[in-house]
Amino acid sequence: MQKGVTPTCKKRDIGLTRIYVTHDQVEAMALGDRIAVLNNGRIEEAGEVLFHRVKMRPGMPILADMIDEKPILCMPGDVTSCLVCGHVFLPPMIRRMVHLPFVGNVRRARLSEAVVSEYGMRRYLPVKLVDWVAYPTFGGSSLITSIGHADGFVVIGEDEALTEWEVDVRVL
């Protein structure tokens, strides 16, 4: 991001509409609450930013917005993070588009070991279910086996610790 641009644009609302032109998607999402795609000086598509940089691990989707009533979800680059973000965000977005409530498949299981969230982020811990016990499979965001061996996720809130007790498992 260019020096000086962010602090100036992020200052409190003073009742002015500001237009900032950039080729950097991340910069555009950080500065604006609406986005437009221009081609030869004409607006071809315009939309609204739904959220930007969700604090989650693995993951951190870069952006979600709506352009011409079509959802856009920019995903992280590594496979495990992309799959987790897809599982967390896509089903509710799709069901909302067709006006259906989101109903997830959740099972109760005993967590095999104590776990905590990391870095003050919501954590989606991949787990394998064996005889109603949830065993963590997470080996790192870049390891596809973290998700490949998982039957579901345990959601751990920011700054939360879970002990070896019953938890909800979101089944894949």
Q: What is the CATH number of domain 106-171?
A: 2.40.340.10
Query: In the Cβ-directed half-sphere of 98, how many Cα atoms lie within 13 Å?
Result: 7
Q: To the nearest whole percent, how much of the chain has pLDDT over 70?
A: 76
Q: What is the pLDDT of residues 19-54, one digit of tens each?
A: 667 666 556 656 666 667 667 777 767 777 777 777
122 vs 65 pLDDT, higher one? 122
Question: In whole angstroms, what is the distance from residue 78 CA to residue 141 CA?
Answer: 7
Q: Are 111 and 123 in contact (CB under 8 A)?
A: no
User: What's 139's DSSP letter?
Assistant: -
Q: Are 161 and 114 in contact (CB under 8 A)?
A: yes
* Sign, CA torsion 14/19/24/25: positive
- What is the band of 13 on the pLDDT scale with cuts at 50, 70, 90? low
- What is the band of 3 on the pLDDT scale with cuts at 50, 70, 90? very low
Q: Are 107 and 129 in contact (CB under 8 A)?
A: yes
Question: In whole angstroms, what is the distance from residue 73 CA to residue 71 CA?
Answer: 7
- CA neighbor of 87 nearest in space, from 7, 150, 3: 150
Find the angle CA(57)-CA(62)-CA(67) to the nearest 5 degrees: 140
Q: What is the pLDDT of residues 53-98, one digit of tens each?
A: 778 888 777 677 777 777 778 888 788 888 888 888 888 888 888 8
- Count helices and strands in the chain by DSSP H and E runs: 4, 12
pLDDT on residue 98: 87
Q: How many CB atoms lie within 10 A of CB 109?
A: 21
44 vs 138 pLDDT, higher one? 138
Cα 44 → chain centroid: 27
Q: Are 117 and 56 in contact (CB under 8 A)?
A: no
Question: What ranges do the domains of the chain cover?
Answer: 5-97, 106-171
